[in-house]
Structure 1
Amino acid sequence: MKFINIVGTTASGKTTFSRQLAQKLDLSHIEMDDLFWLDNWQETPDDQFFLKLQSQMNAADEGWVLDGNYSRTLPLKLAKLDTIIWLDYSFRLNFYRSVKRAISRAMSQKPLWKSSNNHETFRRSFLSKDSMILWMINHHAKNRQKYLKMMHDPQYQHLQFIRIASPKQAAEFLQKIKSVP
């Protein structure tokens, strides 16, 4: 477990889990949202996004923990990827976390990523077609189907899939990981 991608639906805790795992394993943490989102919620074009991601992965030749789904980056990641950890939490928990996170972020107005000025607002969180809550509602089941299919697809059998179904399991998993001195 040296080249790892943490996947899961919005508000599953990918970034927090990834940071903790990267720290324990002494690997680089790469936050894909930070690479993708430009100021004012502008998206990085795919060719530039892929270059940014490739550069970050190349700079971390000792290993990395990527957080984020971004299925279109899979061919790029597969060159080194050895493990996918899927935070597969219930719809109810993801919905609760999405709402709680949206409120907290809208109130704090803190930028979401280092590389952009993006922050949440109540309007964007609750009244917009771009709402992450709405995105979670529309994609939770689709993501589950996608990762279940991928786990059983022969072309990905060389990857270690770890499916974590609750925050308790995530904490237990991290607890079992031996920290690198």
Structure 2
Amino acid sequence: MVGVTGSGKSTLARALGVRLGLPYHEMDGLYFNGPGWAVNGAFSEDVARLAAGPRWVVDSLGYPDVRDLLWGQADTVVWLDYPRRVVMPRVLRRSVRRTVTREALFGGNRESWTGWLSREHPAWWAWSQHRGRRLEIERRAGDPRFAPLDTHRFGRPGETAAWLASL
């Protein structure tokens, strides 16, 4: 699964895993493993182990440490290439909900009101990285090093839902 923050990668990857009977792995959950957004020191090794498996679904191919590994092992990429007008309301609603409810996230971390001021906050990240992320995914999807790679590119949530229902 690829796309900008807030596009629905985790939701779709989870549903796809259930639909196809494949193990689903949440990349943020593997990456952040402790309070203070602590990073898993064995992240690359953990991802290498899961990527060596015969069948799997991950909700991001974007982590720099494992990007080439995952793109190289994947046989299919689902690209949620939604415009900002679709992504931004989603990421804003999600972050407001998480902040208000104090929902526990990866490694027991939580979004906070002060976190909204950081450039690392999902809302800021989704806005600022949208164009660059799209160009990076487009480049990788056409890179012959990763061929043959079956790429499903969806520009609207309705297209994605119809594709999932067809499986």
Fold shared per TM-score above 0.5: yes
Q: What's the % identity of the aligned pairs?
A: 28
Is the contact made by 1:12 and 1:89 (CA closer than 8 Å) also made in structure 2? yes
Structure 2 residues not aligned, in runs of 5+: none
Structure 1 position 44, deviation (Å)? 2.7
Q: Secondary structure at the match of 1:12?
A: coil
1:109 maps to which of 81, 102, 109: 102
Q: Secondary structure at the match of 2:105?
A: coil
2:2 is matched with 7
1:52 is matched with 46
Alignment of 1:121 onto 2:115:
no
Alignment of 1:33 onto 2:28:
yes
- Runs of 4+ in structure 1 deviating by more than 3 angstroms, as ranges, are none
Residues in 2 aligned to 1:165 and 1:118: alpha-carbon distance in whole angstroms? 31
Instruction: Note the alpha carbon deviations across 1:131-179, whole angstroms, 9 max, x for none.
Output: 11111111100011111122222223311111011111111011000xx
2:125 maps to which of 129, 132, 135: 135
> Structure 1 stretch 148-157 or stretch 21-30: which is displaced more?
148-157
Structure 1 position 127, deviation (Å)? 1.5
Residues in 2 aligned to 1:155 and 1:53: alpha-carbon distance in whole angstroms? 20
1:63 maps to which of 48, 55, 65: 55
TM-score, with normalisation over the residues of structure 2? Answer: 0.91
Residues in 1 aligned to 2:147 and 2:124: alpha-carbon distance in whole angstroms? 33
The 5 A counterparts of 1:142-161 are 142-161=132-151
1:86 maps to which of 73, 79, 84: 79
Cα RMSD after superposing both structures: 1.5
Distance 1:73 1:99, change over 3 A: same
1:95 maps to which of 78, 81, 88: 88
Aligned length: 165
